[in-house]
Every structure is written in structure tokens, then in C-alpha cells.
Structure 1
Amino acid sequence: MSIPQFMRFVDIRTKFTSMLPVCIGVLYALYYFNSFNFLNTLIFFIATVLLDFTTTAINVLVDYQTASVNSLERESNIMGRENIPEKLVIYYIFGMLLLYFILGFILVARTDLALLPLGIISAIIAVTYTYGPIALSRMPLGELFSGPPLGLGIIFISIFVNYREELILSLSFQDNTFLLLGDWLMILIIIFVSLPQVLLISNIVLANNICDLEQDVGNHRFTLVYHLGKEKSIRLYNWLTYGSYVTLALPILFGWLPRIMLLIYPTLIFVHRQVKLFNQKQDKSETFITSVKSFLAFTLVEIILFVIAILWTTF
């Protein structure tokens, strides 16, 4: 498989939902703790992208295998369209998972044992999201197991691997006992700082499921949208979008985020237009992109403002 073909296979265009939260976590560690570890960040970034690639690869493989032979779905799948052998895809999946765990163990050795269960849980979610007898994406759990791991999980670990001077979370063993210690206030702060990302990433999955409702039901995939109904799901989509701006206010108010983050709120004008477009029509090829645009408008401005705040405090 050539590099361009591999990039199409893992759909590199969609990886911003894992890459950008890493940036936010690193920038937060720089701003709040004045701490940055380049090697830890690089290892974690590569491991995160590898796990995201693995999730996409499993999803493509499962969709290809479950499609009827000679069906339009199989022909439109990149494996059928570009004649990529199943065996090769399986080798890539296991190879990427193996490399993910190798990098993870290196990172655990460089930080703390508390990172190990976090990494294992992330891998389990990534694999079972589309694979297995009870795939998470086929149940009303897709949003729950996408937003929190990608939003909160990635940001938390990005901060964790960069700030080791004081305790955020630590796990140790002695004989038959284990000791888990953590700074509950710091963990709570990270949760509130991450909430906008959690809501916006969950919203991308929700928008995708709204657009694919009929197709999903035909493929026996009963997502949250199926259980709520389309009208209530669109209402939830609106709440999650605007809720990201509401939840941003608390960390700014308590000084957990710099006051310059208030400049994110003007993006609400653009985001409101995107929400209106999606409310009018829910189509995968035309309006699904509005959820992505809302996420990018919020997140890219947040990253830019973080950089400005860090430069301001530095110089």
C-alpha cells in the first residue's frame, strides 16, 4: 500500500478530532504550568494518531466484510475500490496496535504507571467501537465513547505527560496492595477545560448518525438517533453546540483559562449559521460538514488564543 493510498485508507482528513485536542492539552500545560516535554509529547502524539488510524482501519474492514458480495457498498468501500487485500489490512491493524502499545509502554516508563490503564482503556474503546458482536457504534453509545475519550482523555493525557513536577495522578503497587493518588481539584479543572471539546466532538458523531439514520437502520445499526428520533436528535445537536460555549464560561470565570478566551464567543455568529443550515437539512454530502466547521471554528480559535496568551506571559 503506497503512502497516498494509506492516507486515503485511514481518511487522514478526519484526524483533526484527535490531533487538535493534543495541541490544546500541550498548550494548556504550557500556559497553566509553564511545563513542556518535547519527547513525551511527540511519543503521545504518534501513539494517538496510530490509535485513530487503527479505529478507522477496523471500521473500513468491518464495513467491507459485512457488505454483500458485489454490492454497491463493497464497491464504494476503499478496499473494494482500490483492490486492497483483507489480509494486508489485518496486518496493518495489528502492526499499528503493536506500535501503539510499544510507544505507550515507553511513555509509562517515562511518566507514571497511572498512564497504563488509561492507555489500555483507550485501545479497548478504539477496537470495540466498530468491531465485535456488540460494537459501540451500533448502539446508542457512539457519542459517549467518542467525545469523552477524544476530548477529555486526550487533553488530560497531553497535560499529564507534560507536567510531572507535582502530582496529578499516580499509581503504585506494594505487595498485594495498590495506591492511586490524585489531585482531585486539578482533575476537575481539566474536565471543565475539556468539556467544550467533549461536546463538539460528540456532536460530529451525532450529526453523522442523524444523516445516516435510514442507512444505519437498514444495516441493523441502532444508534442514539434511532432511539431518540430525528427531531429530538436535532434538538440535542443544537444543545450540544451551544452548550460548548456555555461550559467555556466557567473555566474562564474561575481563572482556569485566560480571559482572552472570551474572544472565542464571536465565533458563535458563524457557528449559529452552521446550526441553522443543519436544522434545515440533514444530508451527509451537503450539511454534515457544518458540524465539522463548528468544531474547527471553536477549536482553532482556542488554539490561536492559547498561543497569544502564552507569548504574552512569556514576553
Structure 2
Amino acid sequence: MTVKSIIKLMDIKTLVAGGIPVLLGSIYSWYAFGQINFVYLILLLVAMILIQSATNMINDYFDYKRGADSKERRDEKALVSGESTPKQVLFIIFIYQFIACIIGVFIASQTSYVILLIAFIGGMISILYAFGPLPISYTPLGEIVSGATMGIGITTTVIYIHSGVFNLSTVLVAIPTSVFIGTILLSNNLSDLEEDREAGRKTLPILIGVKRSEKLWIFNVIMLLVLTIVLMLINIYPIAVLLSAILLFPHNSISKFLSYDKNIHTKGRTMGLIGKVGLKYHLSVITGLLISIVFKAGV
């Protein structure tokens, strides 16, 4: 198995979903509570990349075993193309999860062992997402579960690791990230709609149809800015975050999204677009927070 095959298994276009909550939670902890540990930040980024990659592999493994992936997807699926064997994938999953577990135990030993309980719950959700008589990925709940688990769950946990604080504000600050991560899965399911239908899945786009799914995608993207305004009005975000978000937000993303049909052949374009939206939005939020941190330090 080659490095290229491993990268394909990791599905790197989705890894931004794991890194963003870590970065946002770390910088927000610094802004709101004056607490950040850069060693933890680096370790958490590594752990989340490994966990997200392992989750992608678990999903691909069980899809392959069920025969849910067609031969048309050999360009993006290493198992379907024969570049990797099921045993090799299971071995990589074990290694990735083991390393992430070691990182988690270390951080928990330095902060709170509650972190291990949270990690265990997250791990169980990632398994149930792809495994069992009715995997979450086969239901319309995928977007909600992934958004809540990775958006709210990871962001609030990261803030807690740095600052020891968990309250309503740390939950509210994570909601836009939750919306973004849910939209990543919506983009994926919208692109795979026909293939998922043939595999017997009942994903959200299959349930509500293409047009409503596209409207939901647009609504979610708009909500990123709306929620930022709300968070500023209730004094969770400084005004610098809103100004930065307005200036840096990819405002032409909606017109680009509506300019082509969504299917397996345009999946890379759709996933790249939502990735760009989420990355630019969160970078703008982080930029605004950093500006505010510098300003407070100067004052």
C-alpha cells in the first residue's frame, strides 16, 4: 500500500472538519479566559486529524463490506480500487486510534480525566455512525449527529482543556461550527444521492430531495454570518470578529453552488466549495479574535 493510498483513505478534504473546532476552541479560550496551551493545541490537532481519518476509514470499510460503494468510485475509494485491502485498512485504523488515545490519556492526565469519558462517547458515536443494524450514516440524522458531535462536542471540550471552563457561552460559540460540519456531510450526501439510494440509505437529501437540500445548504451558509451577528450582540464575540467575517467571507459561494448539478462527478467541486466556505469563515473569526486579544493586551 502506497502513501497515496493512505491519503485517499484519510479523505483529506474532510480533515478541515476536525481541525477547525480545535483551532477555534483554542483561540476562543485565549480570548475569553486568557488561557491557551500551545503544546495541547498541537497535540489536539494531531489527535483530531487521526480520529477524523480513522472515522473516514471505518465508514469506507463498512461501506465496502456492504457493497455500498460502486466501481465508479474507485478514483476516491482505495478499497474499491484495490489499492488497499480490508486488513490493511483495519491496521491503519488501529494505529491511528491508538496514537490518538495516547495523546488523549496524556492531556487528561494533565487536565481532567473527564476528557477520557468524552473521548469514549465520541468514539462510540463514530463507530455507530458506520456500524450496526442501522448505521447513523444510513439515516437522515447524519448531519445533526456529526454537527453536534464534532462542532459542539469538540469545540467545548477544547475550550475546557485550555481553560477548565464549560458554560453556555462555550456551547453557543460552537454552534456556527456545528452548522458548518453538518453542511459538509450534507454536501457529501447530496453528491452521493443516487449511489446512496441504490445502497438503501435514507440520507437527508434522499428524504427531502435535491432542491430542498440545495436550499438548506444555502440557508446554512447564510446562517454562519447571521449567527456571528447574534454572538456579537450577546457579547460572546467582539465586533472585530463580525467585521472580519464580513470582509473575508466568500460571498460568491452561493452563486457558485447554484451554477452546476450535484452528483458523484462534481463531488470534488462541491466538497471543495463547502471546505473553502468553512475555512475562510473560521479563519475570519480566528483573525477577529486574535486582533481583539492583541488590542486587550495593548490596553
Relative to the length of structure 1, the TM-score reads 0.84
Range that drifts further, 295-304 or 37-46: 37-46
Indicate how the Cα distance of structure 1 residues 5 and 217 shifts in structure 2: closer, same or farther if over 3 A, else same: closer
Equivalents in 2 of 1:262, 1:308: separation in Å? 12
Native 8 Å contact 2:68 2:196 kept in 1: no
Native 8 Å contact 1:277 1:287 kept in 2: no
Equivalents in 2 of 1:233, 1:11: separation in Å? 23
Cα deviation 1:159-202 (Å, max 9, x = unaligned): 111113xxx35xxxxxxxxxxxxxxxxx2111221111111221
Range that drifts further, 108-117 or 279-288: 279-288
Indicate how the Cα distance of structure 1 residues 5 and 209 shifts in structure 2: closer, same or farther if over 3 A, else same: closer
Cα deviation 1:15-44 (Å, max 9, x = unaligned): 111112211111111111111123333332
Structure 2 unmatched ranges of 5 or more = none
1:72: which partner in 2?
A: 71
Deviation at 1:139, TM superposition (A): 0.4
Structure 1 unmatched ranges of 5 or more = 170-186
2:15: which partner in 1?
A: 15
Equivalents in 1 of 2:294, 2:282: separation in Å? 18
* Percent of matched pairs sharing the same residue: 26
Cα deviation 1:119-172 (Å, max 9, x = unaligned): 1111112222223321111101110121122221221111111113xxx35xxx
Q: Which amino acid aligns with 2:241?
A: M
Three-state SS of the structure 2 residue aligned to 1:133 is coil
Q: Which amino acid aligns with 1:251?
A: L
Native 8 Å contact 1:199 1:240 kept in 2: yes
Is 1:294 paired with 2:277?
Answer: yes
Highest CA radius of gyration, 1 or 2? 1
Q: How does 1:125-140 map to 2 (within 5 A)?
A: 125-140=125-140
Range that drifts further, 80-89 or 44-53: 80-89
Native 8 Å contact 2:139 2:201 kept in 1: yes
Q: Which amino acid aligns with 1:105?
A: V
Q: Which amino acid aligns with 2:123?
A: A
1:279: which partner in 2?
A: 258
1:305: which partner in 2?
A: 288
Indicate how the Cα distance of structure 1 residues 226 and 36 shifts in structure 2: closer, same or farther if over 3 A, else same: same
Range that drifts further, 212-221 or 258-267: 258-267
1:48: which partner in 2?
A: 48
Q: How does 1:1-315 map to 2 (within 5 A)?
A: 1-67=1-67, 72-73=71-72, 75-76=74-75, 77-81=77-81, 83-164=83-164, 168=165, 187-263=167-243, 264-268=245-249, 270-271=250-251, 273-284=252-263, 285=266, 286-315=269-298
Native 8 Å contact 2:13 2:272 kept in 1: no
Aligned-CA RMSD value: 2.3
Native 8 Å contact 1:52 1:126 kept in 2: no
Deviation at 1:75, TM superposition (A): 4.3
Indicate how the Cα distance of structure 1 residues 288 and 116 shifts in structure 2: closer, same or farther if over 3 A, else same: closer
Equivalents in 2 of 1:216, 1:5: separation in Å? 23
Three-state SS of the structure 2 residue aligned to 1:144 is helix
Three-state SS of the structure 2 residue aligned to 1:129 is helix
Deviation at 1:243, TM superposition (A): 1.4
The structure whose residues are more often helix, as a share, is: 2
